Amino acid sequence: MAENFEQHSDISAADLARLSQEAQAEATPSTAKIIWSEFKADRPAMAALFIIVGFIVFVMVGALFINTPKMMETNIMAYFNQPFTPEFWLGADSGGRSVAKQLIVGSRNSIGIAIGLTIISSTFGICWGLISGYFNGYIDWGMQRVYDFMMMLPMTMMIIVLVTIIPHYNSVTLTFIFSIFYWEGTSRLIRSRTLAEAEKDYVAASRTSGTSHWKIIFREIMPNISSLIIVDCTLSFAENIGVETGLSYLGFGLPSQTPSLGTMISNANDPNNITQYWWTWLPAALEIIILCLAISYVGQVLRRAADASQRQGAAD
Amino acid sequence: MWKTILRRFLIMIPEVIILSLLVFLLAKAMPGDPFTGSINPKADPQQIKHLMRMNGLYDPWYQQYWNWVVHLFHGNLGNSYQYQEPVTRLIEGRAGNTLWLALFTMILTYVFALPMGVFAGRHEGKLPDTIIRVYTYVTYCIPFFVILVIGIWIFGYVLGWFPTTGSISSDASGWLHTVGSRFYHILLPGLLGALFSTVNIVQYLRSEVIDAKHSDYVRTARSKGVPNRDIYLHHIFRNSLLPIAAFAGYSITGLLNGSIFTETVFSYPGMGLLFVNSISYRDYTVITALVLIYGILNLLGTLLSDIILSIVDPRIRIE
């Protein structure tokens, strides 16, 4: 390329090297770099990020060392053991089961489902939004009617009904059931951005030069809205933690022998537990609050990084 | 205008049909049959089969669906197997509770959100704006059921300010006392629901006010010498009132979805709690009726919002 260029122009090789170096220095930094500098500029965000990553790694690894069926065995001797004792750091519940251990395994299950749900529903929502926004016209109209219909369904009720219909469900089927109903938000966001993006000149140019539709959608438009996708995934991850825990709280999520943050909070349904034995449910509730706040705080920082006018760390 | 509304109605019809079909098929797929539990457990299986045949449960599904729809149009949703009572009467008794709670929550949401939105927009970038932004952000990202549980723990049990179960106290007598007791029971769930769902209205109103602040009509008003307070109240606020009102329809969806959690936590005898109980008893006539009602209410909510928005914004009508 360089030699070819030299033959047709009178710029010397040294100049070319200098020019390309200058261009590289002036070019927009990569997305990863922008995000990193944004985190460096915002200390609390950095702390939130470390808390989230550290906590997720801790529960994932910690849960491996806990024998779940053994942990869930009833132990009458430890009936509502007080918290802050050497054997039970966070006390024990009505079955004498260690709250601290349940919290670790429960967090692993709940966070795992939230991650799976985010991956599946976001992938689907992104594809739906991209296709619907790009092929304006009849395809979009049809897809919008499906979207309207899904929005009309009473989500929580439908999930509960589906859970009762499926005979032997586990965390994987549960994640899929949730995913059926939680892609709408993402798809609408992506669609509206794609509609704007598809009007742009580079799409028209690419189309006239014969690029296939799928290549335009997934190789050209999608990278251009990647920052939006990252932000949306983070924020919906925070929301999705509430989905499984909420249903488990009602008793329609994970089966009762599989600990989850939601089933732990449902200990509070018993008027005795809620006041006298607060340690059976309060730690799980606080954990959900802290996790959700931290994750969406990170999401806010990512959103700032995606919007050049709001950046705080881009000055360096 | 009327054309838009008519078109929205026409789109609704297939949606309702598909919804009813879906609900019906899901109910059919639910495990268990309605008779095993309701009659003597020692009953002859032959007899149960006979009962099921008498009730048309062995007919082909489309025949059953058709019967169900015909009954539906006659206002007959069947009998609840758990309560041995017509479903319509069962729901009638509880729909009021749910709708009152939802209405109360919605009014409170507006009461809190409107001043906050205007205030935040007026003091854009200053301390009050930051505080309101942090507040909406925190309330938005915490799962609602966790808030309910912690709320009932602090205000219901520890401080004892509010009742923790039911919709009315058992010793309420007389008109005034009854209304007062009902209101007392929805106060805490209503307050929690309102304080934690302001985010949409506040953010919309805030950006609307910030936009309007720099617009020509506000500058004209200001140069005429209209006091600052009146500009915000009568000029800016009134302009953004209709789109804000349109949020009411959409928020019905959210409130109904939340009612399942609210009513479970507060043991409040509404449709949400009825649904949760019916699921445990596999009382599927009640379940189908409730899913259908919630779906149709959602649909009407969205319809309301769309109509208001199309009145406000003519561009929507043309599309």
| Rg of chain B over all Cα atoms, to the nearest angstrom | 24
pLDDT digits (tens, 9 = 90+) for A47-97: 888 889 999 998 888 888 877 777 677 776 666 667 767 666 677 777 667
The reported pLDDT for the residue numbered A78 is 66
The reported pLDDT for the residue numbered A16 is 84
Looking at domain B89-316, which CATH architecture does it have?
Answer: Orthogonal Bundle (1.10)
The total number of residues shown for chain B amounts to: 319
Q: How many CB atoms lie within 10 A of CB B2?
A: 6
Query: What residues are paired with B79 via a beta bridge?
Result: B86
Give the residue-averaged pLDDT of B108-137.
88
Instruction: Say which of A149, A157, A269 has its CB closest to residue B290.
Output: A157
Q: Do A154 and B257 count as a contact with CB atoms less than 8 A apart?
A: yes
User: Is the pLDDT assigned to residue A314 strictly greater than 60?
Assistant: no
User: Is the pLDDT assigned to residue B317 strictly greater than 70?
Assistant: no
Name the phi and psi angles at B300, rounded to 5.
Answer: -65, -40
User: Is the pLDDT assigned to residue B289 strictly greater than 80?
Assistant: yes
User: Is the pLDDT assigned to residue A148 strictly greater than 90?
Assistant: no
Residues in contact with B87: Cβ distance below 8 Å, sequence separation at least 6, in sequence order: B77, B78, B79, B80, B285, B286, B289
Residues in contact with B108: Cβ distance below 8 Å, sequence separation at least 6, in sequence order: B190, B191, B193, B194
Q: How far, CA to CA in Å, does A173 sit from each of A72, A102, A115, B317?
A: 22, 22, 14, 42
Q: Do A265 and B264 count as a contact with CB atoms less than 8 A apart?
A: no
User: Is the pLDDT assigned to residue B318 strictly greater than 60?
Assistant: no
Question: Which residues from chain A sit within 8 angstroms of residue B137, using beta carbons?
Answer: 296, 300
In terms of average pLDDT, the best of A272-276, A297-301, B55-59 is A297-301
Listed in sequence order, the DSSP H helices in B41-154 are 45-54, 61-73, 87-122, 127-141, 144-151
The reported pLDDT for the residue numbered A122 is 93
Pairwise CA distance, residues A19 & A28, whole Å: 16
Instruction: Say which of B19, B142, B295 has its CB closest to residue A289.
Output: B142
pLDDT digits (tens, 9 = 90+) for A153-170: 888 889 988 888 887 778
Q: Which of B22, B145, B273, B276 to mutate to test the interface with A (most CBs of A within 10 A)?
A: B145
Both structure tokens of A306: 């995606």
Q: Which one is predicted more confidently, B170 or A251?
A: A251
The reported pLDDT for the residue numbered A310 is 66
DSSP secondary structure letter of residue A92: B
Q: Is A81 helix (H, G, I), strand (E, B) or coil?
A: coil
Pairwise CA distance, residues A307 & A205, whole Å: 26
What percentage of chain A carries pLDDT values higher than 90? 13
H helix or E strand, kind and range, residue B86: strand B85-86
The least confident of A19-23, B35-39, B134-138, B307-311 is B35-39
User: Is the pLDDT assigned to residue B77 strictly greater than 80?
Assistant: no
The reported pLDDT for the residue numbered A316 is 42
Fold of the domain built from segment(s) A54-310: MetI-like fold (1.10.3720)
Query: pTM of the entire structure?
Result: 0.84
Q: Do B291 and A161 count as a contact with CB atoms less than 8 A apart?
A: yes
Q: Which residue of B has its CA nearest to A238?
A: B141
User: Is the pLDDT assigned to residue B248 strictly greater than 90?
Assistant: no
User: Is the pLDDT assigned to residue A43 strictly greater than 80?
Assistant: yes
Q: Do A158 and B291 count as a contact with CB atoms less than 8 A apart?
A: yes
Q: What is the ipTM of this complex?
A: 0.85
User: Is the pLDDT assigned to residue A1 strictly greater than 60?
Assistant: no
Band of the pLDDT at B179, cuts 50, 70, 90? confident
Give the residue-averaged pLDDT of A193-216.
89
CB pairs under 8 A between A and B: 118
Question: Which residues from chain B sit within 8 angstroms of residue A148, using beta carbons?
Answer: 11, 15, 302
| Mean pLDDT over the full length of chain B | 82
Give the residue-averaged pLDDT of B17-27.
87
The reported pLDDT for the residue numbered A315 is 46
| Mean pLDDT over the full length of chain A | 83
The reported pLDDT for the residue numbered A123 is 94
Q: Which residue of A has its CA nearest to B255?
A: A154
